[in-house]
């Protein structure tokens, strides 16, 4: 089995993260999967962006939860990365899904619920309702640093795949795995390197794997996948090491 390449916020290293150009580039680079993040706007729309605030990645300021969709759509999400991408907008979940459907994408769509800092009321139900009403050709994988979001979504969509994100502690991840709520771990690659011999035999997709050294480590040990900002580089290296 080939180690799957999951594009972190799209091709984050080469395009404005979590934007349609970033996801399009990831598909062109040969990514097997897309990883992205979802928040909830003031007026209840599912918004694709990483941070709780727009300050870092756009020309605006403020929290996602305090801004409406119309206000978010007026922001420039590309110019801070490179003036070439000026005018790029923050996408909604539906816009990203429709891009993937149009591209006939059949890989992994790893949606992280960003609820570990702000517990958006009802976001799990909104996400589940969206996918229950929008059949997709790709494999849906949910993850979160907030275990309750995983448990709530599991109750709503028991047939989806769930994986646990963590940086250094994985007691909760072990419990959820034992309870058959999750089937894999998405740990920090630095943590994986320190604890390699102690890791349980579960599906591993470490993040964020950006150096050739770390990519080679993942390919050599045949991890289920790796999450990277540079899917193009990861794909070229996988061809050399795993033949595909």
CA distance 176 to 184: 10
Q: Which helix (H) or strand (E) holds 22?
A: helix 20-28
- Is 235 annotated in the active site? no
Could you tell me how many helices (H) and strands (E) the chain has, helices first? 9, 9
Catalytic site residue from 8, 39, 154, 186: 8
165: left (phi over 0), alpha (psi -120 to 50) or beta: beta
Structural contact between residues 219 and 235, judged by C-beta atoms closer than 8 angstroms: no
pLDDT in tens, the chain (244 residues): 899 999 999 999 999 999 999 999 999 999 999 999 999 999 999 999 999 999 999 999 999 999 999 999 999 999 999 999 999 999 999 999 999 999 999 999 999 999 999 999 999 999 999 999 999 999 999 988 898 999 999 999 988 888 766 544 455 545 644 555 445 677 889 888 887 666 655 678 899 999 999 999 999 999 999 999 999 999 999 999 999 8
Token pair 């999951």 is at which residue?
6
CA distance 31 to 5: 5
CA distance 83 to 38: 25
- Is 8 annotated in the active site? yes
Which among 178, 182, 179, 116 has a CA at the least distance from the CA of 149?
A: 116
pTM for the whole thing? 0.91
Catalytic site residue from 45, 50, 195, 221: 50
Which CATH number does the domain 4-39+93-242 belong to among 3.55.50.30, 3.20.20.190, 3.20.20.120, 3.30.1110.20?
3.20.20.190
């Amino acid at each position: 089995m080939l180690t799957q390449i999951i594009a972190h916020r799209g091709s984050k290293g080469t395009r404005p993260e979590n934007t349609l150009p970033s996801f399009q580039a990831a598909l062109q680079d040969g990514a097997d999967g897309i990883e992205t993040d979802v928040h909830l706007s003031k007026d209840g729309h599912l918004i694709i962006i990483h941070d709780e605030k727009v300050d870092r990645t756009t020309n605006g300021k403020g929290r996602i939860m305090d801004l409406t969709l119309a206000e978010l759509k007026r922001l420039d999400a590309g110019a801070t990365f490179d003036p070439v991408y000026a005018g790029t907008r923050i996408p909604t979940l539906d816009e990203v899904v429709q891009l993937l459907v149009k591209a006939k994408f059949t890989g992994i769509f790893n949606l992280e619920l960003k609820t570990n800092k702000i517990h958006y009321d009802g976001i799990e139900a909104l996400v589940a309702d969206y996918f229950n009403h929008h059949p997709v050709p790709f494999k849906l994988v949910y993850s979160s640093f907030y275990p309750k979001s995983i448990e709530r979504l599991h109750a709503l969509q028991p047939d989806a795949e769930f994986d646990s994100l963590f940086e250094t502690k994985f007691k909760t991840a072990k419990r959820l795995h034992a309870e058959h709520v999750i089937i894999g771990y998405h740990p920090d690659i630095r943590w994986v390197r320190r604890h390699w011999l102690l890791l349980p035999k579960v599906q591993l997709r470490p993040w964020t794997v950006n150096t050739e050294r770390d990519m080679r480590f993942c390919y050599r040990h045949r991890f289920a996948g790796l999450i990277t900002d540079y899917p193009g580089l990861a794909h070229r290296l996988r061809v050399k090491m795993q033949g595909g």
